[in-house]
Amino acid sequence: MDYNKIRALLELYWEGETSLEEEEMLRHFFVTHTAALPEDLREAAPLFRYFQAEKEQELPAWEIPRVAPLPGSRPWQHWMKYAAALLMMAGAGYSVQQYIVRHNELSAAAWQQDTYQDPEKAYQEAQKALELLSRNLNKGTEQMEKLAYFNEATDKIKRN
């Protein structure tokens, strides 16, 4: 290639005014040119050879990991959520059931606690309870008798 053309392109290159094609031409020239270069072109040669070496340089091998399918695309992928919810519901149900069974057992035990094994003592306790009931009932009857007198008096007044 004509050195003058390279000089002109280089000036544009240093100014940042070259196109990608022109830069490719310069790189190709400096990489492939084996004969001695004119002095004014020598400064650019290592740079373009460096760019070429960088382009060709193999980077460390890296097995790029496959991008895992991201959640949200298929409903069945949420199975763990559903399983957890189901487990929680089963747990809650079991707890409630256990509570009811235990509660019933405790109620039955409490009911059985006041029974008496000795019939004599049971009789005495029952008698005491009935006496208490009787006393209270009599109190009520006395009040009712007073009321009866009052009604009788009212009837007499009405007749007269």
Partner 1 sequence: MSLELFHSQVVPIRPKLYRFAFRLLNNEEDAKDIIQDALLKVWHQQDRMAELQNLEAWCMRIVRNLALDRLKSKKYRSTEMLDRAGEMEAAHQPDPHLAAEQQDVMGRVHRIINALPEKYRTIIQLRDVDGFSYQQIADILELNMSEVKINLHRARKAVREQLQNIQVYGLQ
How far lies 44's CA from each of 9, 40, 52, 79, in Å? 12, 9, 13, 64
DSSP 72: T
How far lies 29's CA from each of 9, 19, 20, 55, in Å? 11, 15, 14, 16
Nearer to partner 1, 59 or 137 (CB): 59
Least Cα distance to 24 among 55, 3, 2 occurs for: 55
Count Cβ atoms below 10 Å from residue 9 Cβ, excluding itself: 20
Nearer to partner 1, 67 or 137 (CB): 67
Which amino acid, residue 13? Y
Applying CB under 8 A, does 67 fall inside the site for partner 1?
A: yes
What track of x and - describes contact with partner 1 for positions 13 through 32 (by CB under 8 A)? Answer: xxxxx--x--xx------x-
Nearer to partner 1, 62 or 111 (CB): 62
CA 147/CA 135 separation, integer angstroms: 19
By the 8 A CB rule, do 71 and 77 touch? yes
Stretch that binds partner 1, among 67-75, 76-84, 88-96, 151-159 (CB under 8 A): 67-75
Nearer to partner 1, 5 or 49 (CB): 49
Stretch that binds partner 1, among 54-62, 89-97, 112-120, 127-135 (CB under 8 A): 54-62
Residue 105 DSSP SS3: helix
Applying CB under 8 A, does 49 fall inside the site for partner 1?
A: yes
Nearest distance from residue 4's CB to partner 1, in Å? 19
**Binding residues vs partner 1 (CB under 8 A):** 13-17, 20, 23-24, 31, 42-44, 46-47, 49-55, 57, 59-60, 62, 64, 67, 69-70, 73
